[in-house]
Structure 1
Amino acid sequence: MIVLLVILSITIALFIWGKYPPDVVALMSMLALYMTGLLDMPETLSGFSNPTVLMIAALFIIGEGLARTGWTALAGKKFVSWAGKSIPKLLVIVTLGSGILSGFVSNTGTVAALLPVTVSAAWKAGTLPSKLLMPVAFGSNTGGLLTLTGTPPNIIVSNALKESGLEGFSFFEFALMGMPLLLIAVLYFRYVGYRLLPKHKMENPPVNIDSEVHKWIANYSIGHNMYRLRIRSMSQLIGSQIGDWEFEKKYNISIMRLRRRHPSVLKGTPPFVELPGSETEMRYHDIITVKGESNDVDKMIMEFKLGVIPKEFKPSELKKELINQEVGMVEMIVTPTSFFVGRTLPLGKYLNKSGIQLLGASRDGRPLADKNITIKAGDAFVIRGSWKN
């Protein structure tokens, strides 16, 4: 008994300390119990086959998948758009929306997805973010009582009943208690809690992504010399890879994005190739977004029998073309000691080592219109790449 208490005390202390990952601490505790003879091998490994553990692990995987694919963020934006600038309506929607989302996604994932859109919506509606963030937190906690997978304790209780020979809870059975509690929480915050919520002020409002991206598009002339071309049936590009043709070296053209005509989830063909590389295959009717001088683009069109989509890029279209859930944009300044100083790079080029694409350049506050830029210290660039890079 003393050995068991010592191991548990050390485990709890390590959890509180936080220097080591919790999963490592748990495995060390499990091994300590086995090596001291308190558990035999079947008992030590029984947790890995426990349906409760497996279901909770699967729950986290599903929640992370929904978050990474943007579904939770999309749902948050929809909730906020329905409210408009009405503060009472916004309060009700974010509380109820966080509760519904947390019934299917973890509480942490729900709050993380709703946090940025809630703060932005609060500023647009003319209220303080602190008035809305606490209802979001309470709504996500209450929403965990809506479904069997809403929170791990629900799964543990249901499996405990099954192990005792009783019938477990159905998926939505918890909603018989959870839904009334969620509605009570919504009504409370709408009519009572709103007056009691903190009034902490933020000195600086959050950056408006849409306006900032539109500024970059204008200040860096990102849409200049950018064209969309369609690969026609007689083009020799069909079935070849981008690296086979050396477009940047021979034609002074950079391929920035590729849209598939026939995407397929079953075949693993995504609708877009956001950052085409040398091994990207080109197929019939693909639409490629290219950047280059008009004469070079005309030469490429004639030689490879491509079609032109004669539609100019508007700022809103450029934003959709260049930024989404997978890829983003950022502004950077070249320092005097940078590796890039003195090097010549074409705008639109994809840098394989860095995993980024050069969209536009500015020097002394003026956009650089040339396709090839010899980089100097102090130059500003807008780059595009995956959020990870």
Structure 2
Amino acid sequence: MNLDLLIVLGLLLGAVTLFVLNKPRMDVVALLVIVALPMTGVLDIQQTLAGFSDPSVVLIAALFVIGDGLVRTGIAYRLGDWLVARAGSSETRLLILLMLSAAGLGSVMSSTGVVAIFIPIALGVAARLKIAPARLMMPLAFAGLISGMLTLVATPPNLVVNSELLRAGLEGFGFFSLTPIGLAVLVLGIGYMLLTRSWLARSGIDADAAPPRLTLSDLAAAYRLNERERRLKVRADSPLARQALNELELRRQYGINVIGVERQRKFRTLLLMATGNTLLEPGDVLLVDLASPTIGLLGVYQQLGLEPMPLATSYFSLHAHELGLAEVALPPESTLPGKTILELGVRSQHKLNVVGLRRHGVALEGVLVDEKLKPSDMLLVAGNWKNIHRLQGLSRDFLVLSLPAEVDEVAPTARKAPYALLSLAVMVGLMVSGLVPNVMAALIGCLLMGAFRCIDLASAYRAIHWPTLILIVGMLPFAHALQQTGGIDLAVKGLVAVLGGAGPYAMLASLFIVTALIGLFISNTATAVLMAPVAIATAQQLGTSPYPFAMIVALAASAAFMTPVSSPVNTLVLGPGQYRFGDFVKVGVPFTLLVMIVSVFLVPLIFPL
């Protein structure tokens, strides 16, 4: 063991110690490594900074942009809506669907990309169901890693091992050779996360964190809006049909405030924000706020030709991506106190509707259009999120106080959703076909997102999570340093010398453990490059089939569950889940041992020794 190797191992131990202590931040530790390595003389500046041009780093940055494009076009939230609809209020069903979806998609594209795409989806679903993000982020990461065990093209280590078989003059693996084992590990992973999610229940809770933001439901409850929401269909014989809202005076005469209109088209339902010029059509479903919950009992519906429609939940929740609420105060310099709500012209001038009024903390009831405002009054307005944001600029007369958390889920380029899907399909198709490297496929996807205006440059740069990239860049030089100083070769040769005479099952387990441990410090692709020839040579020395040994290396290279820096997939969820280093150790180490047991048992059954 030479001096250079001792220096590298010392730096590696110091970095891991700081990771465990979680002080300073992990990206700061990575920067310290980048500064320290050239000063030791083991690596030069170019070798140390080579991570900034590493394809995997560029790939991850591009996938952040792709993921944000899916968010901005609303696709991510639609998938989240689907998960919520299928899961209902069951966290168990949600976790199962999330892991199945992530693993299924990850079997044909980069697991890092899949996790990057699913993170905003999972965070949005967690917020809506009031689940701690920590209970979903690690299951998502584990599903992404397990996806690498499902098909031959799911992850580069599989292809590395397959290439080593071909180089040795043997037949390679088939596309689905890993699938039976991967499916067993996926079932095991889902069951394991269902049992251990309680270990993560408090991982995402920060004592210094800001209090939870108001939601649409909170605002609606504060103004007693839930009691007055209705969906009313305009019948064909309704006297309201083909008339504009400002001509009907529904608010003043009947206490019916129309917020929005659901209008059926051939393939979808349009949501129109109600303004004075909105022309009602037969078949329209009106989203209304009643002055009193008992209006429907007075025969008003029959008189106006309206038919009550089911409303299982608040229509603000159903249309949260388009229809919003905001609490508005009147600043001291406002000229509005003394005017009635109708005189404000909120609907005609700002295309918003006043749906609530609180005075001294009490929500007023009844027809509010003729109510004169007082300086301390608080208004609740409803309408398109774009118009709500525009109201924020009118600081003299209006002061927007409370925007609910759902404002983060607004899709500013929702109309570009088909183009975002096309861009994603092109990227996935290029990755699956292998026509271009994965990083090129991701960059092509980014360019298509930009060309179709799914995302702009400013949003693209904001979408990239720079601390994650710095962490990866800072750890990559260790792989070069360990190879250059002979550390990896020394460890591998020692393993073969000690365990070469053991039985095949013991050797399979040993290969799994060594591969998984090496993968803690270098990329799983580099680990596969080092361990695949060792596995095949070991099998030949023992006089057994090389296929189970090669397969065990491929599986172990994907079993990077033990630390947040053992895989970019884990690093991606570190921030959103607010995990500490020890959280991954606590959950990941036992699961890695379970995966090893299952692999050592199943691999010889499918690939006989």
Normalized against structure 2, the TM-score is what? 0.37
Shift, 1:351, TM fit: 3.5
Q: Provide the C-alpha distance between the structure 1 equivalents of 2:90 and 2:99, rounded to a whole number of angstroms.
A: 13
Kept after mapping to 2: 8 A contact 1:72/1:113: yes
Q: Hey, what does 1:365 align to over in structure 2? A: 361
**Per-residue Cα deviation, 1:120-170 (whole angstroms, up to 9, x for no partner):** 7685xxxx653442121232455478689989x9xxxxxxxxxxxxxxxxx
1:107 aligns with 2:115: yes
Structure (1 or 2) with the greater helix fraction: 2
Residues 15-94 of structure 1 correspond to what in structure 2 (within 5 A)? 67=75, 70-76=78-84, 78-79=86-87, 81=89, 83-84=91-92, 92-94=96-98
Q: Provide the C-alpha distance between the structure 1 equivalents of 2:98 and 2:381, rounded to a whole number of angstroms.
A: 34
Q: Give the one of 258, 262, 267 matched to 2:261.
A: 258
Q: Give the one of 130, 134, 140 matched to 1:130.
A: 134
**Per-residue Cα deviation, 1:223-269 (whole angstroms, up to 9, x for no partner):** 18x7836243374733x5546x3747986864322233x5312xxxx
Residues 312-327 of structure 1 correspond to what in structure 2 (within 5 A)? 317=312, 319-320=314-315, 323-327=318-322
1:332 aligns with 2:327: yes
Q: Hey, what does 1:381 align to over in structure 2? A: 379
1:215 aligns with 2:212: no
Q: Provide the C-alpha distance between the structure 1 equivalents of 2:325 and 2:154, rounded to a whole number of angstroms.
A: 36
Q: Name the amino acid aligned to 1:99.
A: A
**Per-residue Cα deviation, 1:10-54 (whole angstroms, up to 9, x for no partner):** xx69xxxxxxxx89xxxxxxxxxxxxxxxxxxxxxxxxxxxxxxx
Shift, 1:327, TM fit: 3.2
Shift, 1:115, TM fit: 2.2
Shift, 1:61, TM fit: 6.8
Q: Provide the C-alpha distance between the structure 2 equivalents of 1:281 and 1:144, rounded to a whole number of angstroms.
A: 54
Kept after mapping to 1: 8 A contact 2:216/2:316: no
Shift, 1:119, TM fit: 6.4
Q: Which has the larger Rg?
A: 2
Q: How many residues align?
A: 301
Q: How has the CA–CA distance of structure 1 residues 361 and 249 changed in structure 2, closer, same or farther, with 3 Å as cutoff? A: closer
Q: How has the CA–CA distance of structure 1 residues 115 and 290 changed in structure 2, closer, same or farther, with 3 Å as cutoff? A: closer
Kept after mapping to 2: 8 A contact 1:348/1:359: no
Q: How has the CA–CA distance of structure 1 residues 210 and 150 changed in structure 2, closer, same or farther, with 3 Å as cutoff? A: farther
Q: Name the amino acid aligned to 2:266.
A: S
Q: Provide the C-alpha distance between the structure 1 equivalents of 2:359 and 2:124, rounded to a whole number of angstroms.
A: 33
Q: How has the CA–CA distance of structure 1 residues 191 and 258 changed in structure 2, closer, same or farther, with 3 Å as cutoff? A: closer
Kept after mapping to 1: 8 A contact 2:356/2:364: yes
SS at match of 1:385: strand
Kept after mapping to 2: 8 A contact 1:349/1:358: no
Per chain length, whose mean CA-contact separation is higher, i.e. which structure has more relative contact order (CA < 8 Å, sep 6+)?
A: 2
Q: Provide the C-alpha distance between the structure 2 equivalents of 1:191 and 1:232, rounded to a whole number of angstroms.
A: 56
SS at match of 1:117: helix
**Per-residue Cα deviation, 1:321-356 (whole angstroms, up to 9, x for no partner):** 675243344452414246574243249986465453
Kept after mapping to 1: 8 A contact 2:259/2:287: yes
Q: Provide the C-alpha distance between the structure 2 equivalents of 1:227 and 1:119, rounded to a whole number of angstroms.
A: 26
Q: How has the CA–CA distance of structure 1 residues 63 and 327 changed in structure 2, closer, same or farther, with 3 Å as cutoff? A: closer
Q: Provide the C-alpha distance between the structure 2 equivalents of 1:291 and 1:83, rounded to a whole number of angstroms.
A: 32
Structure (1 or 2) with the greater strand fraction: 1
Kept after mapping to 2: 8 A contact 1:79/1:94: no
SS at match of 1:285: coil
Shift, 1:319, TM fit: 0.9
SS at match of 1:374: coil
Q: Percent identity?
A: 16
Q: Provide the C-alpha distance between the structure 2 equivalents of 1:70 and 1:236, rounded to a whole number of angstroms.
A: 33
Q: Hey, what does 2:457 align to over in structure 1? A: none
Q: Name the amino acid aligned to 2:368.
A: K
SS at match of 1:361: strand
SS at match of 1:309: strand
